[in-house]
């Protein structure tokens, strides 16, 4: 802290207020950055774009983030944090294993459709070769979680007719993220939940009986 460097000791409540302001400022900056990355893509976004969207100066953005690469990394980390939160909410439902797989994919589809940070993170992953920092490898923990649920299903003796859990999880994740990309290009992800429902029913027909317990599954009209 600059004050401390000059020998000035701030009262604890003043330090706490400064820290709270810094946290709020970073949140505003990251929200603006996510909106910009989602709308324009990494190459077209400038720090000035982010600053103007955040209602700040470029200097204020640079105070918190060294450059555009640092912003891209921070938004990507938010993306994976949000994916982790979605996974936790599904685990709390204690659904049957195949129901958990379906619910996770459906909730993720809804987030891709509705949440800017998810849309930004997905776009940044596509543009990772243009970004000058190493981003997290895509969807590793997500795939492992799905594989663990599929393994539980197999251990229960109900998934013997399915491919190996790791193989099936990889196929599901690849199919889902391919579907979200196509849905984005063709329909701005408006139909992604429906595409995901069809994907689950096609790749894991035996999940149909558990999908009736999934809160996110579309209901028959």
Q: Which pLDDT tens digit goes with each residue over 100-136?
A: 999 999 999 999 999 999 999 999 999 999 999 999 8
Residue range 21-75, pLDDT digits in tens: 888 999 999 999 999 999 999 999 999 999 999 999 999 999 999 999 999 999 9
pLDDT of residue 17: 62
Residue range 166-219, pLDDT digits in tens: 999 999 999 999 999 999 999 999 999 999 999 999 999 999 999 989 999 987
Count of Cβ atoms closer than 10 Å to residue 159 Cβ: 22
If pLDDT is split at 50, 70 and 90, which confidence band does 161 have? confident
Query: What gap in Å lies between CA 39 and CA 27, rounded to an integer?
Result: 18
CA 101 vs CA 9, 166, 196, 212: distances in Å: 53, 13, 11, 13
Evaluate the CA torsion angle 28, 32, 34, 35 in order and state its sign.
Answer: positive
pLDDT of residue 1: 43
Residue range 84-104, pLDDT digits in tens: 999 999 999 999 999 999 999
pLDDT at 14 over 90: no
Say if residues 99 and 211 touch (Cβ distance below 8 Å). yes
What is the rounded average pLDDT for all residues in the chain? Answer: 91
Say if residues 21 and 102 touch (Cβ distance below 8 Å). no
CA 45 vs CA 64, 101, 182, 203: distances in Å: 17, 35, 23, 38
pLDDT of residue 22: 83
Say if residues 162 and 146 touch (Cβ distance below 8 Å). no
Residue with tokens 């009986």: 209
Query: What gap in Å lies between CA 8 and CA 145, rounded to an integer?
Result: 50
pLDDT at 8 over 70: no
Burial 8-45 (b: 16+ CB within 10 A, else e): eeeeeeeeeeeeeeeeebeebbbbbbbbbbbeeebeeb
What kind and span of H or E run contains 108?
Answer: helix 97-114
């Amino acid at each position: 802290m600059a004050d401390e460097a000059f020998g000035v000791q701030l009262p604890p409540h003043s330090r706490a207020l400064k820290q709270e302001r810094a946290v709020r400022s970073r949140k505003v900056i990251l929200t603006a950055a996510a909106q910009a990355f989602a709308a324009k893509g990494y190459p077209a976004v400038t720090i000035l774009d982010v600053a103007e969207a955040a209602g700040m100066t470029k200097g204020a953005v640079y105070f918190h983030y060294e450059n555009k690469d640092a912003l891209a990394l921070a938004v990507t980390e938010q993306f994976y944090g949000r994916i982790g939160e979605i996974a936790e909410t599904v685990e709390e439902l204690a659904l049957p294993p195949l129901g958990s797989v379906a619910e996770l994919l459906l909730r993720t589809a809804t987030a891709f459709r509705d949440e800017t940070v998810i849309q930004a993170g997905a776009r940044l992953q596509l543009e990772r070769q243009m970004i000058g920092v190493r981003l997290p490898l895509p969807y590793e923990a997500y795939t492992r979680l799905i594989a663990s649920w599929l393994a539980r299903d197999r251990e229960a003796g109900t998934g013997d007719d399915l491919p190996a859990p790791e193989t099936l999880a990889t196929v599901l994740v690849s199919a889902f993220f391919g579907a979200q990309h196509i849905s984005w290009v063709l329909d701005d992800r408006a139909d992604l939940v429906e595409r995901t429902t069809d994907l689950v029913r096609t790749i894991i027909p035996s999940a149909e009986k558990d999908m009736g317990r999934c809160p996110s599954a579309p209901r028959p009209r």
